[in-house]
Amino acid sequence: MPVIVQLLTALLLLCLSVTAQAEKLRIVTEPWAPYVYEENGKKLGLDYETTAIVFKRLGIDVEWQFLPWKRCLAMLEQGLADGALDIFHSDERDALLLYPSEPLSDVEFVMFYANARPHPFRTLDDLGGLTVGTSPGYLYSQAFSESTLFKREAAPTHEANFGKLQLGRIDLLITDRRVGRHVLEQMQLGDQITENPVVVSRQSQYLAVRRNAGMDLLVQRFSAELKRFKREPAYAELSARYGAGDMTKATSPGRASTEINR
């Protein structure tokens, strides 16, 4: 009897899985190198390639769209996308989205400053009178978002933010450490802009999907396969290629700690 029950359960799960895979999954994301980006028309990045491999193993076809982050979020809310790549977890999103138990990667948000105009930073109090470059569509903590000590100024792209920093139009900018390093290399600004070692926030990035029929099973299967892939040499090679784990260790400042959500 237990064997029959197991077979029936497996059949039910297979049916649900087929339902979830009847059409291509529409996944949206913002270019966020080195995690996900396009180069010469080719999609690349640690999290993109990891996700593509996992979906291929699960037999799921995906339709990808690379868009500004605010538009990604709007498409999720309007039901125009099935999921988002490299999204952070937040309680307010739980009503709309399902998250796998296994994250794709972890990020560390730090401040960057121009060498010609250095601004030492350890807590929010150190930002008094300054202007900090931010990214549109990102949800910052209440303390960071509502502080009257400093101004927040969004730019449409990470490149635009670094350009403003170079020109002195903002005093600091906040972004993920690896993303910042990648942009600096691409813009050849490594000798003009420096990253502050203080980690403002650490977050995990996920592939999240809308709470539609069959998606709960899909999330479980994705998480299980992602865990398996992370134990393989292929994942270690992929991580090494994109510099995963090559992070400067630093202690997050208590008073300045903020939760930042993509």
Domains of the chain (ranges, CATH numbers): 22-103+203-240 (3.40.190.10), 106-201 (3.40.190.10)
Separation between Cα atoms, residue 187 and residue 183, nearest integer Å: 6
Contact (Cβ atoms closer than 8 angstroms) between residue 70 and residue 136: yes
For the chain, which residues score pLDDT lower than 50?
A: 5, 7-21, 248-259
Task: Identify the pLDDT of residue 3.
Answer: 52
Separation between Cα atoms, residue 110 and residue 197, nearest integer Å: 7
- DSSP, collapsed to helix, strand or coil, labels residue 240 as helix
Task: Identify the pLDDT of residue 2.
Answer: 56
Task: Identify the pLDDT of residue 262.
Answer: 67
Q: 């930002």: which residue's tokens?
A: 127
Element (DSSP H or E) covering residue 98? strand 97-98
Contact (Cβ atoms closer than 8 angstroms) between residue 36 and residue 231: no
Task: Identify the pLDDT of residue 251.
Answer: 47
Condensed to tens digits (0 to 9), the pLDDT of residues 35-72 reads 999 999 999 999 999 999 999 999 999 999 999 999 99
Element (DSSP H or E) covering residue 237? helix 233-241
Task: Identify the pLDDT of residue 48.
Answer: 98
Task: Identify the pLDDT of residue 23.
Answer: 73
pTM as predicted: 0.81
